[in-house]
A and B are shown apart, each in its own frame.
Chain A
Amino acid sequence: MLSTAVHLANSTPSQLLPSREMMAFTLASHILLVPFGVALPFITLVMHYRALRRNDPVALKLARRWSAVMAVQFAIGVVTGTVLSFEFGLLWPGMMGRWGDVFGLGFGVEAWAFFLEAVMIAVYLYGWRRLKPWTHFWLAVPLPLAAVMGAFGIIAANAWMNTPRGFTLDAQGVPVDVDVRKAVFTPMFGPEYWHFVVAMFMTAGYVVAGVYAVGWLRGRRDRYHKLGFTVPFTIAAILTPVQFFLGDNAARAVFHKQPVKFAAMEIVWKTDTHVPEYVFGRLNADGTIAGGIKIPQLDSILAGFRPDTKVTGLTSVPAADRPTPTEATIVHFAFDIMATIGSVLILLALWYAWIWWRHRDLPLNRLFFRVAAIAGAACLVTVECGWVTTEVGRQPWIVYNNMRVSEAVTHTQAAGIWATLGVVIAVYVAVFGSFLAVVLKMRTRWRIADEAAAGTLAPVDPEVDTPYGPRGAPDPAAVGAATGSRSESGPSGGAR
């Protein structure tokens, strides 16, 4: 067993690189849509609730527009996600063949959760016109639960790859005595799951808020933009400090359960106490570190709260069993970028909280809105970084300490996979480009309509005004709510 492992490690099959690139590319693309699949329904429902509860036509307009975006985004997410299921077989048949029954159950849970999500999202997206307002709302309330349940399945599978258990190996190295409960609830599952779910809600919140922050910076300071900014931004800002603790907790769980990955995250070469923390910096092949800011003792303190905490180094395991120096540097950069952005977001959230506490209003500072406008993009970067940290940090293992990526890879020839990767990149660029173009076009249509409505006192089109279905005359309460609000409500109020 050991000799074959060493043999395999030394003879990296040529199809390994294109397979990894293809998995990386398709997952990196798909993961950008995941925050919206998981959290946009919740944010939309919060806005929807406000609309129904307060009879607020601006909130209703926002909820409807978000759900129109959701319709397209969810569809692209479904198809890019389906590709990933195929890739398990197309790229990593060795992993699925040996371990499929051990860790596949999480996917089973994900499948029905996702099924429920697809059903409920269909009812929600297509129920605006003909369902009763509150019935429509309540039918969608389980939606965030199903989304979070779906994430449960995926993270259970990924956490198992990080800290596999729930089986014993027989003489041939085949897993026997499978214990599914142990395989689903692995040591990394809890920290990874909560960190991931909160990241999804934060990212969706900051991205959606960022859209309205840009509008605000461009001078569109009406109630529509204020509401569109405040609701998602508040959700994200509340979660930001929570995420800080969860992220710290996840890092410490890695320190305990996957010490070699932790060593890569912090580029620790030799096992030692009083280990310094490097902020960025590159790991050289000889174990020295180039660049970066060195903070003495800090890594040990972060890992175990004391300077004399012993931190396992990369060299604690043979070179064939740990990430290469280049991989370790990638992991380290990904981890540090994630931590840096997270810290900046904390400051942003505190700023927001301070102003809200003092003035009960949004900050008036342009810098605040500038930072808020890029917070969403920064969050998407952290999502990618978090994923790079956990996946590259596990190299060369696909199942930590149990199966190498090179043992799992398909036997398809490298040239074929490179060619496929080319096709897939072309298809994805076209699909994501078209998706972005369609969403931007929707935004333009809405902006033009709102601007036209702001310019006239009378409604543009009498049919525009019915919040739910064809009801004839505009709801008098709705008009009252719109005109009775702040003076900035002119544009959207005028649309009523």
Chain B
Amino acid sequence: MMADTIAWVLIVVIAAYACGGGTDYGAGFWDLLAGGADRGKRPRWLIDRAMAPVWEVNNVWLIFVLILMWTGFPTMFQAVFTALWLPLLLAAVGTVLRGAGFALRKPSRRIARRRIFGAVFAIASLLTPYFLGSVLGGVASGRVAVGTPASAHVWSNPTSILAGLLAIAATAFLGAVFLSTDARRFGAEDLVDYFRLRAVLAFGAVVVLAVIALPVTHHDARYVWHGLTRGLGLLFVVLAAFFGVATVLLLMVRAHRWTRYTSVATVALAVVAWGFAQRPYLLPTTLTVAQGAGAPHALRWLGLVALIAVVLVGPALALVYRLDTKGRLQELTDTDTHAAGLPGDNL
């Protein structure tokens, strides 16, 4: 019972990371595709400004995921990190490069330096969700079992590749939807349509990938495929699709007020659908939630810690997102800290 609860907490936190972190990765994706220094100047300005106050918060979800895995389901954690060693390593390196690139780009005042840091940030924003997605695909396809040695086929199979690409497309979708709203908030009307178009295109990519995935994963990820095409799994897939379509329709009629919520619902419900489809397995079809669960006493305490987290972190998160969306959070400028220009500055 407790093990199931913790498993659902894990799913919810993964969904939160997919949405919070995903929006961030998506912003990085559009940074990558924004074009040269001149053409991409305005989108990058918006991405910097919109992301800066919340990106660290968005990425703490990932640490939560890892901790829930090793405390709640230690054998599953060991199996996943053994079998999927390389993609997880690459995701970790990607996280470092991405965060460092983003944080170091902001205080740089030279185009050449900004370009290097920006490129590192943007490319890592593409690779990290891909590898995390492929890890998820590897698990969903049933290729990971306790004791599976690290090998390429665990993460370079059709399901993994599709899941990785879907992760990129989904993050691009979220990123574009949020940036479109942010553009309106910051009064950059030209960028509203710029990202509106990109959000629709990204959703198109999600749909195309999902359509390809349907026949391909039928045999490749049999258990989860069946879970997603019937019962509660199917219900949540339909709900996710509904919200996705709703997002596109709202974007079309420029009803920007609700698009962020519907896009988040799309991604979160898709993750929850995967959770339903994979029941009762942690690792289909070899390790169930009950088999993989840690000590009952530890799980009860973990549940308590999760509850405290909700009570404490929830209001704090609400506060930061509220302050951010109201435009109360702004970066310190050079005038605020009394900084002078230096020879060679060209920004």
Interface residues of A (CB under 8 A from B): 61, 64-65, 67-68, 71-72, 74-76, 78-83, 85-90, 93-94, 96-102, 104-105, 107-112, 114-116, 118-123, 125-131, 167, 175-180, 410-412, 420, 423-424, 427-428, 431, 434-435, 438, 441-442, 444-446, 448-450, 452-453, 461, 463-464, 495
Complex formed: what's the CA distance from A82 to B88 in Å? 12
Residues of chain B within 8 A of A428, CB atoms compared: 96
Which of B102, B150, B319, B320 neighbours the largest number of chain A CB atoms within 10 Å of its CB? Answer: B320
Residues of chain B within 8 A of A444, CB atoms compared: 342
**A76→B89 contact, CB < 8 A:** no
**B96→A79 contact, CB < 8 A:** yes
Number of A-B contacts (CB under 8 A): 270
Residues of chain B within 8 A of A441, CB atoms compared: 107, 342
**A495→B338 contact, CB < 8 A:** yes
Residues of chain A within 8 A of B74, CB atoms compared: 96-101, 104
- Tell yes or no: B108 within 8 A of A by CB: yes
**A123→B77 contact, CB < 8 A:** no
Residues of chain B within 8 A of A449, CB atoms compared: 338-340
> Assuming A111-B60, A118-B60, A129-B330, what are 12 further A-B pairs, CB within 8 angstroms?
A74-B56, A85-B62, A85-B66, A94-B78, A104-B294, A112-B309, A127-B328, A130-B328, A178-B297, A411-B150, A445-B334, A445-B340
**B88→A130 contact, CB < 8 A:** no
Residues of chain A within 8 A of B338, CB atoms compared: 61, 65, 446, 449-450, 453, 464, 495
Q: For residue A398, give the distance in angstroms from its CB to the closest CB of chain B.
A: 14
The contact string, 1 if C-beta is below 8 Å from chain A, for chain B 246-270, is 0000000000000000000000000
Contact of A126 among B298, B313, B331 (CB under 8 A): B331
Pick 24 A–B contacts, CB within 8 A, sort by A. Answer: A68-B107, A71-B106, A79-B99, A79-B100, A80-B96, A83-B92, A97-B79, A100-B294, A104-B67, A108-B67, A108-B305, A118-B60, A119-B57, A119-B317, A119-B320, A123-B323, A123-B329, A126-B330, A130-B330, A176-B295, A178-B295, A438-B108, A445-B341, A453-B338
Q: For residue B334, give the distance in angstroms from its CB to the closest CB of chain A.
A: 7
**A111→B63 contact, CB < 8 A:** yes
Q: For residue B215, give the distance in angstroms from its CB to the closest CB of chain A.
A: 33
Contact of B56 among A112, A122, A127, A424 (CB under 8 A): A122
**B305→A109 contact, CB < 8 A:** yes
**A75→B102 contact, CB < 8 A:** yes
- Known A93-B78, A101-B294, A410-B82; judge A431-B60 contact (CB<8 A): no
**Chain B interfacial residues counted at CB < 8 A:** 81
**B107→A76 contact, CB < 8 A:** no
Complex formed: what's the CA distance from A319 to B107 in Å? 53
- Known A89-B88, A100-B294, A434-B117; judge A115-B93 contact (CB<8 A): no
- Tell yes or no: B123 within 8 A of A by CB: no
Which of A61, A167, A178, A435 neighbours the largest number of chain B CB atoms within 10 Å of its CB? Answer: A178
- Tell yes or no: B141 within 8 A of A by CB: no
Complex formed: what's the CA distance from A187 to B332 in Å? 45
Complex formed: what's the CA distance from A98 to B71 in Å? 10
- Tell yes or no: B12 within 8 A of A by CB: no
- Tell yes or no: B346 within 8 A of A by CB: no
Residues of chain B within 8 A of A96, CB atoms compared: 70, 74, 77-78, 81
- Known A90-B81, A108-B67, A122-B53; judge A68-B60 contact (CB<8 A): no
Residues of chain B within 8 A of A452, CB atoms compared: 340
Residues of chain B within 8 A of A82, CB atoms compared: 59, 62-63, 92, 95-96, 99
**B313→A116 contact, CB < 8 A:** yes
Q: For residue A415, give the distance in angstroms from its CB to the closest CB of chain B.
A: 13
Closest B residue, CB atoms, query A104: B71
**B72→A101 contact, CB < 8 A:** yes
**B57→A118 contact, CB < 8 A:** yes
**A116→B335 contact, CB < 8 A:** no
Residues of chain B within 8 A of A97, CB atoms compared: 74-75, 77-79
Residues of chain A within 8 A of B328, CB atoms compared: 127, 130-131
Closest B residue, CB atoms, query A435: B104
- Known A61-B337, A72-B104, A75-B102; judge A107-B67 contact (CB<8 A): yes
**B89→A442 contact, CB < 8 A:** no
Complex formed: what's the CA distance from A94 to B147 in Å? 11
